[in-house]
Amino acid sequence: MENLNLIDTFSEFKELKNIDRATMMSVLEDVFRSLLARKYGSDENFDIIVNIDKGDFEIWRNREVVEDTDLEDPNTQIPLSEAKKIDEDYEVGEEVSDEVKLHDFGRRAILALRQHLTTRILDLEKNNIYMKYKDRIGDIVTGEVYQVWKREILILDDDGNELILPKSEQIPSDHFRKGDTIRAVVIKVEMKSNTPYIILSRTSPVFLERLFELEVPEIFDGLITIKKIVRVPGERAKVAVESYDERIDPVGACVGMKGSRIHGIVRELRNENIDVINYTSNLQLYISRALSPAKISSLKLFDDEKRVEIYLKPSEVSFAIGKGGLNIKLASQLTGFEIDVYREPDSEDEEDVNLEEFVDEIDGWIIDELKAIGCDTAKSVLRLSLADLVKRTDLEEETIAEVINVLKSEFE
């Protein structure tokens, strides 16, 4: 029963799914040979038979029979008198194979062997996990939330491997509990203190790109290409797409019938507003599309400065800027141009009043909130409905109603 101490280690080894049988056998034999080399000075004349399934092994030493007086190396040679104790028929020059028992090594050596074996197994497993996920950077993985901490979430994949989702890579409105199923993209894999760290992200543009590949077969098949993605996680994203088949409308294919395809993506991203834009090499047209839903009257391109001046009707300015300036910010990131927005002058603007003139009646922070959505004059505010103003700003309905009354009184 001297092998009993190692059977548990063999059983643990069998359970590791990321290690193939050939590698397992090689590691086990290597560990045993290092022990033999330390005890006998060489392991070349030993045969090692490992049975992983039974958790058992045998070690056989091969020695040449020599005359008792000619014995020089007890490890590779055996005296004739000793050989005949094994079998009377042995003659000088023949080879004797006898089994080496584990207890011959001593208790301390056996414990060291088991510890060495366990360490090699764990190191091999860690390295295999590292290599597995190194090849999966940019892929979506699904796992179960195992532990939620303040700065990160610990996730277990189907094989029980530990994955990390840092707080900085979570959508602001994400809220997970232990046991929840979670999807994210692998963005970084590294080794720290011989332990693999697999970092996931739900805020990366790559996550949104992979979700489109899952939901839109034309993207997965390569008929539609995603040219660029920019996003403010949980708030808004813009996706530029291009079709290699004239018969396929890339925007329509991505959105799906009645939004069927994009709805699942929006739900996964916590209701993130996604604008899908048809890519074009025509810069003016591309910039116009990027500022959707605003309708541009005209624009002036300064290609050398990577800057563009946009002219819009007053009623379109707030649409171009978007809530909190998100629309114009993302359009700038998508096109690579700095975008300056200007109102087209009209007859009505001659009678308009700047919001700063109402500072005695309207709080400064309210004026700043209105200016953030492109409303810096009284009439630019009044052109929008109460519902639009509530939707585009963080102001209460009662506050906006009071502002509208103040502004209306100016023109009555």
Exposure string for 231-241, b = 16+ CB within 10 A, e = fewer: bbbbbbbbbbb
Domain 136-201 has CATH 2.40.50.140: yes
Full-prediction pTM beyond 0.95? no
134-148, 183-197, 362-376: segment of lowest average pLDDT: 362-376
% of residues, the chain, pLDDT over 70 = 91
Given pLDDT bands bounded at 50, 70 and 90, which one contains residue 201? very high
Backbone CA torsion sign across 347, 351, 357, 358 = negative
Task: Please determine, for residue 22, whether its predicted confidence score (pLDDT) is greater than 80.
Answer: no
Q: What single-letter DSSP state applies at residue 139?
A: -
pLDDT for 1 equals 37
pLDDT for 128 equals 85
% of residues, the chain, pLDDT over 90 = 41
pLDDT for 72 equals 82
pLDDT for 37 equals 83
More confident residue, 97 or 3: 97
Write out the residue limits of the CATH 1.10.150 domain(s) in the chain: 347-411
Write out the residue limits of the CATH 3.30.1480.10 domain(s) in the chain: 4-131
Given pLDDT bands bounded at 50, 70 and 90, which one contains residue 183? very high
pLDDT for 344 equals 75
**Could you tell me where the DSSP H helices lie in 99-223?**
107-134, 205-215, 217-220
Rg over alpha carbons for the chain, rounded to the nearest Å, is 36
pLDDT for 2 equals 45
Angle at 349 between CA 343 and CA 351, to 5 degrees: 160
pLDDT of 303-313, one tens digit each? Answer: 888 999 998 88
Task: Please determine, for residue 18, whether its predicted confidence score (pLDDT) is greater than 60.
Answer: no
Chain length of the chain: 412
What is the pLDDT averaged over residues 235-261? 93
Write out the residue limits of the CATH 2.40.50.140 domain(s) in the chain: 136-201
Q: Which CATH code, of 3.40.50.300, 3.30.1480.10, 1.20.1290.10, 3.30.390.30, is assigned to 4-131?
A: 3.30.1480.10
Task: List Cα–Cα distances, 342 to 289, 296, 313, 375, in angstroms.
Answer: 17, 10, 9, 12
Given pLDDT bands bounded at 50, 70 and 90, which one contains residue 384? confident
More confident residue, 177 or 76: 177
More confident residue, 156 or 123: 156
Per CATH, the number for 347-411 is 1.10.150
Specify whether the CB–CB gap between 39 and 109 falls below 8 A. Answer: yes
pLDDT for 54 equals 62
Q: How far is the C-alpha of 102 from the C-alpha of 114, rounded, in Å?
A: 12
86-90, 216-220, 222-226, 285-289: segment of lowest average pLDDT: 86-90
Task: Please determine, for residue 250, whether its predicted confidence score (pLDDT) is greater than 70.
Answer: yes
Q: How far is the C-alpha of 387 from the C-alpha of 174, rounded, in Å?
A: 27
Task: Please determine, for residue 112, whether its predicted confidence score (pLDDT) is greater than 80.
Answer: no
Task: Please determine, for residue 364, whether its predicted confidence score (pLDDT) is greater than 90.
Answer: no
pLDDT of 260-293, one tens digit each? Answer: 999 999 999 999 999 999 999 999 999 999 998 8
Task: Please determine, for residue 5, whether its predicted confidence score (pLDDT) is greater than 70.
Answer: no
What is the pLDDT averaged over residues 361-368? 88
What is the pLDDT averaged over residues 192-198? 91
Task: Please determine, for residue 175, whether its predicted confidence score (pLDDT) is greater than 90.
Answer: yes
Longest dimension (CA), the chain: 128
Exposure string for 196-210, b = 16+ CB within 10 A, e = fewer: bebbbbbbbbbbbbb
Smallest Cα–Cα separation from 233: which of 259, 208, 262?
208
pLDDT for 4 equals 44
